[in-house]
Amino acid sequence: MFKKVLIANRGEIAIRIMRACRELDVSTVAVYSDADKNALFPKYADEAYHIGPSPSSQSYLNMDKIIEVAKESGAEGIHPGYGFLSENPVFAKKCKAAGIVFIGPSSEVIEKMGSKIAARKLMIEAGVPVVPGYDKAIEDVDEALEMADSIGYPVMIKASAGGGGIGMKVVYSKDDFKSSLVSIQSVAQSAFGDPTVFIEKYVEEPRHIEFQILADSHGNTVYVSDRECSIQRRHQKLMEEAPSPVLSPELRKKMGEAAVKAAKSIGYENAGTVEFLYSKGDFYFLEVNTRLQVEHCITELVTGIDLAKQQLLIACGKELPFKQEDIKITGHAFECRINAEDPLNDFAPSPGKITRYRSPGGPGVRIDSGVYMGYVIPPFYDSMVAKLCTWGETREEAISRMKRALYEFVIVGVTTNIPFHEAVLSNEAFVRGDLTTHFIEDNNILEAVKEVVEHEKGKGSTLASVLVNNSRKTAAATAAVSAYVNAAKQQSNCQQTK
Ligand code: MV4
């Protein structure tokens, strides 16, 4: 095992990885920017190094600086977390050249999956179902129009270098095709420096279902569990669950085996995720995420497998300690991403000081967070405060635990999206497991959020309101009660009950 690992990330995921390191007796090195001087993760680490100013371009994206710190501190491996440098093939390559293990797949694999056209082509060759379309870059409009005609409208134009929802557009008719093509090409050029686009059939109202995979360097590849990630807004996932409520055991096995086939065909090593679109019993490969994802925790909850730990073991050349048939899904888990953002103001970020904080606990609750009471959430990075996950023997139990945990969560000082989660959890279609990527709009969730927010102005609807809202009145009442109790105690000879 490594003696020392550098974590090239911040916040909760830096802590998540350091937790795995601690359990494996690996020393940890944190790197942090100006804005993160007072964050929890540099304090949690065994060593912490300042790497630059707050903007990530000058700190968390500074490859050479991070590698220099790794070398100076004697770290043998770098874990990139998610975001930042985690899917950057240049960084993976630079680590290798510096004699440091990049804890993730090879630079070549990251690069291959970065091109959506190449990924499509490879999956077709491997026999993994893809959305009907063309695995060919569009070269001229007339040829593209013919392709669109033969696929049948609506079609989707996608940037080959895109992913995660940037650089794509639905086209409903021939008349809009040319202007959409030109606009996506220009978005692709400015966002990715590559104007290459391709087209696919547009799958309407699909579900987003992804499969976690693990692959070691001995040729063993397994699928760990599936996750349903349909509850998202503008490609930002907000709530996920494992397993997907729509898959039968047979379809789960079929999709899981397709995910393994996808991984094996590209020589994948370490943890990864194969994303699929699901519609009416059919599934289509979408992309491979070559990193540990935000929502990995729910897979851990339903399988008992520590994915971060397995990543470290795989990177050291260890063989997976289980086979496919050993992996069992037990119960059901949800993740709510608790963000400092205002769902009633277009989800605008709400950075600032957390003046009171108390996280939920009790049966079936897991919290991954990098904040504490008094911490100031900086405006430079994403607005996630905590990942709140619950586990239950059944989906219903996991839902009621999530509602209970959200009731308990006290976060004062910044606006959070807790009411959004409460609105989703009370929605009938959601409770039925009736989800699509358009769930929020189709179910008028924002209207429901307004009602939740209004309701929570009333005392007692959340633990926060009990503890904080009427703090003066509560304090006065508490003082009066204790004065009364003390007086009663003095007057009576009865023994105090314990
Ligand atoms: C699609 C699609 C429908 N048809 N491709 C969005 C993210 C990127 N990975 C691909 N995405 C989609 N590709 C075809 N041919 C619908 C989406 C999509 C989506 C996918 C997953 C999760 C949320 C989504 C929200 C809107 C659109």
Widest pairwise Cα distance in the chain: 97
Atom index in ligand 1 nearest the CA of residue 275 equals 9
Ligand 1 near 208 CB (within 6 A): yes
Atom index in ligand 1 nearest the CA of residue 165 equals 7
How many Å lie between the centroid of ligand 1 and the Cα of residue 250? 24
How many Å lie between the centroid of ligand 1 and the Cα of residue 207? 9
How many Å lie between the centroid of ligand 1 and the Cα of residue 335? 21
pLDDT at 498: 42
Ligand 1 near 437 CB (within 6 A): yes
Query: With bands split at pLDDT 50, 70 and 90, how would you rate the model's confidence at 487?
Result: confident
Residue nearest to atom 23 of ligand 1 (CA): 437
- Which of 243, 334, 263, 259 lies closest to 297 in space, CA to CA? 334
496 pLDDT exceeds 80?
Answer: no
pLDDT at 484: 75
Please confirm, yes or no, whether 401 is among the known catalytic residues.
no
Query: With bands split at pLDDT 50, 70 and 90, how would you rate the model's confidence at 497?
Result: very low
Ligand 1 near 419 CB (within 6 A): no
Is residue 232 within 8 A of residue 277, CB to CB? The reply is no
Atom index in ligand 1 nearest the CA of residue 156 equals 15
C-alpha angle with apex 29: 17 to 365, nearest 5 degrees? 25
Ligand 1 near 167 CB (within 6 A): no
Q: Which of 293-307, 318-332, 482-496 has the lowest mean pLDDT?
A: 482-496
Ligand 1 near 228 CB (within 6 A): no
pLDDT in tens, 18-62: 999 999 999 999 999 999 999 999 999 999 999 999 999 999 999
Q: Return the exposure string of 463-492: e unless at least 16 CB atoms fall within 10 Å of the residue's CB, then b.
A: bbbeeebeeeeeeeeeeeeeeeeeeeeeee
495 pLDDT exceeds 70?
Answer: no
Ligand 1 near 163 CB (within 6 A): yes
Is residue 252 within 8 A of residue 226, CB to CB? The reply is yes
First to last CA, the chain: 51
pLDDT in tens, 336-377: 999 999 999 999 999 999 999 999 999 999 999 999 999 999
How many Å lie between the centroid of ligand 1 and the Cα of residue 158? 10
Question: Which helix H or strand E contains 377, and what residues bound it?
Answer: strand 376-377
In whole angstroms, give the CA distance from residue 403 to residue 415: 18
Query: With bands split at pLDDT 50, 70 and 90, how would you rate the model's confidence at 458?
Result: confident
Ligand 1 near 424 CB (within 6 A): no
How many Å lie between the centroid of ligand 1 and the Cα of residue 165? 7
In whole angstroms, give the CA distance from residue 98 to residue 208: 38
How many Å lie between the centroid of ligand 1 and the Cα of residue 166? 10
Residue nearest to atom 24 of ligand 1 (CA): 437
The SS3 call for residue 341 is strand
Half-sphere exposure of 247 (CA within 13 A, CB side): 27
How many Å lie between the centroid of ligand 1 and the Cα of residue 164? 8
pLDDT in tens, 240-259: 999 999 999 999 999 999 99
Residue with tokens 């590849």: 221
Query: If DSSP states are collapsed to H, E and C, what string results for 290-334?
Result: CCCCCCHHHHHHHHCCCHHHHHHHHHCCCCCCCCHHHCCCCCEEE
Is residue 91 within 8 A of residue 63, CB to CB? The reply is yes
pLDDT over 90 percentage in the chain: 91
Residue nearest to atom 14 of ligand 1 (CA): 202
Torsions phi, psi for 474 (to 5 deg): -60, -45
Q: How far is CA 109 from the centre of its chain?
A: 21
Ligand 1 near 407 CB (within 6 A): no
Report the pLDDT averaged over residues 259-269.
Answer: 98
Residue with tokens 């993760």: 41
Ligand 1 near 131 CB (within 6 A): yes
Out of 120, 291, 366, 401, the active site residue is: 291
Ligand 1 near 210 CB (within 6 A): no
Report the pLDDT averaged over residues 70-83.
Answer: 98
Say which residues have a Cβ less than 8 Å from residue 187's Cβ, sequence separation at least 6.
Answer: 159, 166, 167
pTM of the predicted structure, to 2 decimals: 0.93
